[in-house]
Amino acid sequence: MNSRLFTIITHSLFATAVIASFVWLAYANAVPSGAVTYVQDFEQGTPFVSDFWPPERFDPVVKIGEYAVRPVVESPVSFFIHPPRTFVTSTIQIVYKLKDTALFEIAVETGPEPEDYKIYQWQSLESLPGDWWRGTIVVPMNDWWRDENNRYHAQMHVSDLLENHNILWVKEMRVKLEGRPHGWREWWNAFQ
Amino acid sequence: MTIVSKITAAFALWSGIWLALSALLEFWHRGFVVHHVNTRWVWLFFGITAAAWLIVKTKDPWGQALAK
């Protein structure tokens, strides 16, 4: 084969692969279906839903049965979600178990100051086998403050967790984001 | 050798372009690339192909002529 033709074909193939990879990335970030679910299971992990913070308030991941579980020993702990664009609503589901009964609530941060948060009551609380519970809240994304890195922060509050030597085991955090922008301007703003 | 040189050159060039574009997109919108792609494999790919291309392209890569 002609040497020059071979070079052109080789580079064309690689250029196509590079362009295709960025088209796919843009498609994945846009979430054109309008809904996406991210799961933090403390085993596989996901960059879209963080682990807890600060680290001194939780213990290393343990195995309970076949599941990897994060034990939390002091309240509150925070975590963040980092969606690829803005959405309208977020449905947060937490699968958890408490060593002793206590009040457990989720708060979303509404501003940069420590006191800027809003407590959400569980909208549904479902009992699962093995004394696990699945709590669900629906948060309008307009209520939720977004930091300079486009991250939305939330907190887990458990009453007297450290004082009572209680433990909160978190098995899974599932975040479903929904909402499709309308029109080019909204699509563009969704990435800003 | 010419075919190997051309193919490694194309691999190194386009994986380098991919990394440069990724860095720009990541700067524009954090998480755009790194949430979906583990870039350490692209860095490894770029490093290996760039080193291979340099070795293949250089007439005396190990400096044997100088040693004589």
Q: What is the pLDDT of residues B17-27, one digit of tens each?
A: 999 999 999 99
> A11–B11: do the CB atoms touch at under 8 Å?
no
Residues of B in contact with A9 (CB under 8 A): none
pLDDT, tens digit, 9 for 90 and up, residues A78-89 = 999 999 999 999
What's the pTM value of the predicted model, to 2 decimals?
Answer: 0.87
DSSP string, A131-184: TEEEEEEEEEGGGS-B-TTS-EEEEEEETTTTTTT--EEEEEEEEEEE----HH
Q: Hey, how many other C-beta atoms are within 10 angstroms of the C-beta on A11?
A: 15
User: Could you say which residues of chain B have pLDDT below 50?
Assistant: none
pLDDT, tens digit, 9 for 90 and up, residues A39-78 = 999 999 899 999 999 999 999 999 998 899 999 999 999 9
* Matching residue, tokens 């922060």: A153
The per-residue pLDDT for A1 is: 62
How is domain A36-179 classified at the CATH fold level?
Answer: Jelly Rolls (2.60.120)
- Measured in angstroms, the CA of B64 and the nearest CA of chain A are apart by 30
Does ipTM exceed 0.90?
A: no
Residues of A in contact with B14 (CB under 8 A): 11, 14-15, 17-18
